[in-house]
A and B are shown apart, each in its own frame.
Chain A
Amino acid sequence: MKKILVACGNGIATSTVVASKIDDYLKENSFNAKIDKTKLLEVRSSGNDYDLVVTTGTFSGELDVPIINGMSLLTGIGQEATLEEILETLKNM
């Protein structure tokens, strides 16, 4: 099973919104994944333990795993494209 890490400023508010949207979308597409949430401050130390990192906002660090910007899942603008990108990235691993 693939593991996704969703990170935002405090690991609470926006990451909860983004994580549940990703979860819904993956379930609709019958894709099994485990989603965890964290603070952006902790991404550097834990991000590489996951298959994919989704951040809300700008994360300027570097990781060995793909990072996808999940801002559109908050504003609702361009949401579908981002969700598709997440699914494709996971499938192509």
Chain B
Amino acid sequence: MLDAVMSVFNWLIDAGPTVMLPIIMITVGLVVGLPFQKAFKSGLTIGIGFVGIRLILDFLAQNLGPAARGMAERIGVQLDVLDVGWGSIAAVTWASPIIIFIIIAIFITNIIMIISRTTNTLNVDIWNYHHLAIVGIMVHFVTDNVYLGIAASVVMAATTFKIADWSQPLVEDYFGIPGVTLPTVSATSSMVIAWPLNWLLDHIPGIRKIDFQLDDAQKYLGVFGEQSVLGLLMGTAIGLLADYDIASALQLGVQMGAVLVIIPQMTSFFVQGLMPISQQAQKWSQEKFKGRELFIGLDAAVIVGNQNVINTALVLIPLTLGMALFLPGNRMLPFADLAIITFRIALVVALTKGNFFRNIIIGFVVMAAILYGGSYTAPYLTELAAVVGIDVAAIAGGGAILISSFSATSLTHSLLIFLAFIGPLHITMPIMVIVIAAYWYILGNVKPKKEENNTLEEELQN
């Protein structure tokens, strides 16, 4: 029996993600009780999303790769790690052969934590599991140990649900959205840095008092928020720096504008395909936990429209580009994820109550950490992507181009868990446990129950 299962499984892996992904998702759809037609359509839609991402990434590498290399040769900045965007990395994540086990493990982790009252966050937004899953998939890729991979994702999940719990008062008080938490790693990861750093800023005389707000950023910096314009500017600039003539540089500009507009469209096929499965999970869990007051875990997308978040991000976009050029050791060329820095800063803005001075300082540190994390883990990520058929290095002309993003193991939280699981375990595991316990002790004690919503912020202010 097991042999038969394994041989089917191996056949699926050999067939590649374009075949495996739809078949697995159709199966999952049927298991959770979708009618065949709906399950079939879901699975196929996800497969189409994957094919679309692969096409657009080939196009990106083909055109931006040589230009980035030319720029490196000409002006001497070694930015050989292309930021291909979180959506591309999510596609790699969903195409992993072990994704299904990891998704189930994350789901079970959430249910167990709710039953044991270790979390109040009900997170069945299956799509967003990709942030948690990629850590385990990369650990599996490096260590070749499935159990270690699953364990890494479980730790990611548990800690993310806790950060979501702890930052729930921020979401309610600052953004005015009650009853929800935001277990989206691209937003929660920053809190790992922001909580201690904000505490530190509170204790530096002189600095603790600085507070100003910013209103007009969008008027002057608004162009950075438009994917198409941002792509055009970046592409043209890189082309010119690579000594392209004006026409070729503009060509690259329009091509990159296209890439930034098309990637999200492709990514939304994944969301569309996964939606029916997510909704089944939501229905099931809301029935199971009827009567228990739980926070519904949502995508952090619901808070990034806040004006202070947008303003902070618009200032951080050029700042991050500058950092990429001047930070020693950075290899990442920020590109596709520039426009969604908003996620990385959203909860920080709530923590500082819109204190622009602090947002920029904390944002600066958060983004620097992301650039370093992205640079460091790019070789792993690039190889992993090649395994599922996204072989960017080969397409870009063999010039050792790597890929990364502002998500996955570039995020500090994910990076730390990844490092803990690929290091010498007898040393890294105790450290990980101690660090998690420390956060849990400090933040958990500050805000144990929902009724004491405001104490966390007050505590951090004092």
The answer, among A58, A75, A77, for a CB contact under 8 Å with B175, is A58
A80 CA to B304 CA in the complex, in Å? 25
Which residues of A41-73 have CB atoms within 8 Å of chain B's CB atoms? Answer: 41-45, 55-61, 71
Question: How far is the CB of B14 from the nearest CB of chain A, in Å?
Answer: 31
A71 CA to B299 CA in the complex, in Å? 11
Contact between chains at B268 and A8 (CB < 8 Å): no
| CB-based nearest B residue for A46 | B226
A56 CA to B301 CA in the complex, in Å? 8
Q: What residues of B have a CB within 8 angstroms of the CB of A14 in the complex?
A: 298-299, 301-302
| CB-based nearest B residue for A42 | B226
Q: What residues of A have a CB within 8 angstroms of the CB of B339 in the complex?
A: 39, 41
Contact between chains at B286 and A40 (CB < 8 Å): no
The answer, among B175, B264, B282, B296, for a CB contact under 8 Å with A10, is B264
A20 CA to B343 CA in the complex, in Å? 23
Contact between chains at A10 and B340 (CB < 8 Å): yes
Contact between chains at A57 and B272 (CB < 8 Å): no
A12 CA to B359 CA in the complex, in Å? 26
A35 within 8 A of B: no
B16 within 8 A of A: no
A10 CA to B225 CA in the complex, in Å? 11
Contact between chains at A13 and B343 (CB < 8 Å): no
Task: Count contacts on A: residues with CB < 8 A to the other chain.
Answer: 32
A15 CA to B268 CA in the complex, in Å? 9
Q: What residues of B have a CB within 8 angstroms of the CB of A7 in the complex?
A: 305
A45 CA to B228 CA in the complex, in Å? 12
Q: What residues of B have a CB within 8 angstroms of the CB of A56 in the complex?
A: 301-302
| CB-based nearest B residue for A59 | B305
Contact between chains at A12 and B271 (CB < 8 Å): yes
Q: What residues of B have a CB within 8 angstroms of the CB of A39 in the complex?
A: 225, 227, 264, 339
Contact between chains at B271 and A16 (CB < 8 Å): yes
Contact between chains at A57 and B275 (CB < 8 Å): no
Contact between chains at B128 and A13 (CB < 8 Å): yes
Question: How far is the CB of A76 from the nearest CB of chain B, in Å?
Answer: 7
Contact between chains at B304 and A20 (CB < 8 Å): no
B218 within 8 A of A: yes
Q: What residues of B have a CB within 8 angstroms of the CB of A42 in the complex?
A: 225-227
Interface centre among A37, A42, A43 (most CB of B within 10 A): A42
Contact between chains at A20 and B298 (CB < 8 Å): no
Contact between chains at A17 and B275 (CB < 8 Å): yes
| CB-based nearest A residue for B343 | A9
Q: What residues of A have a CB within 8 angstroms of the CB of B267 in the complex?
A: 12
Q: What residues of A have a CB within 8 angstroms of the CB of B282 in the complex?
A: 76
User: Could you give, for residues 69-93 of chain A, a 1 whenever the CB lies within 8 Å of some chain B CB and a 0 otherwise?
Assistant: 0010011110000000000000000
B306 within 8 A of A: yes
A13-B127, A14-B298, A75-B180 as given contacts; A58 in contact with B87, CB under 8 Å: no
User: Could you give, for residues 138-182 of chain B, a 1 whenever the CB lies within 8 Å of some chain A CB and a 0 otherwise?
Assistant: 000000000000000000000000000000000000011101100
| CB-based nearest A residue for B283 | A76
Contact between chains at B271 and A40 (CB < 8 Å): no
Question: How far is the CB of A60 from the nearest CB of chain B, in Å?
Answer: 4
Contact between chains at A41 and B225 (CB < 8 Å): yes
Q: What residues of A have a CB within 8 angstroms of the CB of B342 in the complex?
A: 9, 41
| CB-based nearest A residue for B308 | A60
Contact between chains at B301 and A75 (CB < 8 Å): no
B109 within 8 A of A: no
B396 within 8 A of A: no
| CB-based nearest B residue for A13 | B299
Q: What residues of B have a CB within 8 angstroms of the CB of A41 in the complex?
A: 225-226, 310, 339, 342
Question: How far is the CB of A13 from the nearest CB of chain B, in Å?
Answer: 5
B444 within 8 A of A: no
A39 CA to B87 CA in the complex, in Å? 14
Interface centre among A43, A56, A58 (most CB of B within 10 A): A58
A40 CA to B340 CA in the complex, in Å? 11
B307 within 8 A of A: yes
Contact between chains at B268 and A37 (CB < 8 Å): yes
B222 within 8 A of A: yes
Which residues of B59-76 have CB atoms within 8 Å of chain A's CB atoms? Answer: none
Contact between chains at B226 and A71 (CB < 8 Å): no
Which residues of B231-288 have CB atoms within 8 Å of chain A's CB atoms? Answer: 264, 267-268, 271-272, 275, 282, 286
Question: How far is the CB of A54 from the nearest CB of chain B, in Å?
Answer: 12
Question: How far is the CB of A53 from the nearest CB of chain B, in Å?
Answer: 11
Interface centre among B305, B307, B339 (most CB of A within 10 A): B305
B133 within 8 A of A: no
Report 23 cross-chain contacts, Cβ distance below 8 Å, ordered by A residue: A8-B299, A8-B302, A9-B302, A9-B343, A10-B301, A10-B304, A13-B127, A13-B268, A13-B299, A13-B301, A20-B272, A39-B264, A41-B226, A41-B310, A43-B305, A45-B226, A57-B306, A58-B306, A60-B305, A74-B296, A76-B282, A76-B286, A77-B179
- Report which B residues bind A (CB closer than 8 A): 87, 127-128, 175-177, 179-180, 218, 222, 225-227, 264, 267-268, 271-272, 275, 282, 286, 296, 298-307, 310, 339-340, 342-343
Q: What 8 A-B pairs are tightest by C-beta distance, nearest first?
A: A9-B301, A57-B302, A41-B225, A40-B305, A9-B304, A8-B301, A16-B271, A60-B307
